[in-house]
């Protein structure tokens, strides 16, 4: 199938893109890498009247370190995240995760801003944003606003972005000393969307978690920053504490039922990920041994 007819405008600046969005409201759609928008249009799931192509806006591309903050432009492509020395040094979780996003052809075009604005609950990068305590920077007719990642995703393919707003950048606090990260997903084949996944970032002090952020994905209508993590912070993690965290996690998830997996299977996989993640972060393999339970 081919997309319904649409008008096309190539934005010449962020201000120009915002003017076009303000003039056309929810009849317009932003085009970044096109790796989610174009398939959706070709399947006639979306039929915008106007495409606002922001792909040439160099000011939205690139990765820079500003003090203790890593700033990633919205148009930074997946492949650039994968190869960036700054990401490898200051947000290695993101580098691990992006290797699981689709395939090279898609990673060469797809952008981090597009991935976050698209808000597929099975996507890797939104969950990383929760684990990394990211701030999403949006610009609209009223100026710029900053939204904590935890408040940004509001449902399946839904975010707090309004139709007249552009996601312009992502701000990440740089990883501190004693940081550890863990990323794993269960998928039918490498590059497929996950059946269940976990992006985790931690700070470890004296063998205990000083901080633990667990971003689960594909286990609900949006990425989940698991409150269950609080059961593991500041304590000697013993099997009983881990079991309590698994039970708490179970209570806060609401996984979807689809052709890939049942809700029960997704809950099971999330518990397995929690155990394996904690074992890997603390470097205590015995804690992951019950991962199949």
Q: Which residues bind ligand FAD (CB under 6 A)?
A: 29-37, 39, 74, 101-102, 106, 109-111, 113-115, 117-118, 123-125, 161, 166-167, 191, 193
Q: Shortest distance, CB of residue 199 to ligand FAD, whole angstroms?
A: 12
Q: Shortest distance, CB of residue 196 to ligand FAD, whole angstroms?
A: 13
Q: Which is nearer to ligand FAD, 146 or 227 (CB)?
A: 146
Residue 171 and residue 150: Cα distance in Å, rounded? Answer: 13
Q: Which is nearer to ligand FAD, 125 or 175 (CB)?
A: 125
**Helix, strand, or coil (residue 159):** strand
Residue for token pair 């929690």: 274
Q: Shortest distance, CB of residue 148 to ligand FAD, whole angstroms?
A: 17
- Best CA proximity match to 217, nearest among 277, 146, 147: 277
Are 169 and 74 contacting, i.e. CB atoms less than 8 angstroms apart? yes
According to DSSP, residue 5 is labeled: P
Q: Shortest distance, CB of residue 223 to ligand FAD, whole angstroms?
A: 11
Residue 177 and residue 242: Cα distance in Å, rounded? Answer: 25
Q: Which is nearer to ligand FAD, 123 or 179 (CB)?
A: 123
Residue for token pair 């269960």: 186
Q: Shortest distance, CB of residue 52 to ligand FAD, whole angstroms?
A: 8
**Helix, strand, or coil (residue 275):** helix
Are 167 and 144 contacting, i.e. CB atoms less than 8 angstroms apart? no
- Best CA proximity match to 232, nearest among 251, 212, 214, 249: 212
Residue for token pair 């649409």: 6
50-53 and 28-31: which strand pairing?
Answer: parallel
Q: Which is nearer to ligand FAD, 32 or 179 (CB)?
A: 32
Residue 76 and residue 109: Cα distance in Å, rounded? Answer: 9
Q: Which is nearer to ligand FAD, 106 or 174 (CB)?
A: 106
Q: Shortest distance, CB of residue 12 to ligand FAD, whole angstroms?
A: 16
Q: Which is nearer to ligand FAD, 47 or 238 (CB)?
A: 47
């Amino acid at each position: 199938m081919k997309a319904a007819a649409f008008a096309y405008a190539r934005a010449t600046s962020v201000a120009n893109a915002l003017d076009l969005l303000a003039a056309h409201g929810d009849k317009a759609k932003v085009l970044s890498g096109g790796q989610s928008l174009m398939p959706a249009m070709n399947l006639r799931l979306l039929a915008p009247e106007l495409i606002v192509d922001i792909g040439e806006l160099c000011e939205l591309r690139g990765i820079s370190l500003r003090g203790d903050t890593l700033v990633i432009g919205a148009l930074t492509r997946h492949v650039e995240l994968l190869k960036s020395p700054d990401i490898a040094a200051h947000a290695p979780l993101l580098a691990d995760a992006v290797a699981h996003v689709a395939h090279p052809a898609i990673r060469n075009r797809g952008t981090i801003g597009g991935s976050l604005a698209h808000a597929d609950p099975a996507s890797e990068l939104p969950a990383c944003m929760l684990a990394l305590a990211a701030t999403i920077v949006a610009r609209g007719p009223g100026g710029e606003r900053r939204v904590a990642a935890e408040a940004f995703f509001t449902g399946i393919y839904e975010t707090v972005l309004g139709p007249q707003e552009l996601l312009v950048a992502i701000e990440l606090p740089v990883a501190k000393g004693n940081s550890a990260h863990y990323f794993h997903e269960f998928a039918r084949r490498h590059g497929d969307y996950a059946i269940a996944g976990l992006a985790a970032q931690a700070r470890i002090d004296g063998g205990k978690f000083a901080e633990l952020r667990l971003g689960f994905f594909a286990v609900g209508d949006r990425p989940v920053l698991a409150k269950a993590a609080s059961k593991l912070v500041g304590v000697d993690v013993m099997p009983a504490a881990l079991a309590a965290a698994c039970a708490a996690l179970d209570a806060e998830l609401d996984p979807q039922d689809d052709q890939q997996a049942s809700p029960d299977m997704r809950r099971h996989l999330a518990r397995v990920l929690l155990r394996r993640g904690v074992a890997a972060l603390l470097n205590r393999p015995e804690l992951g041994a019950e991962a199949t339970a």
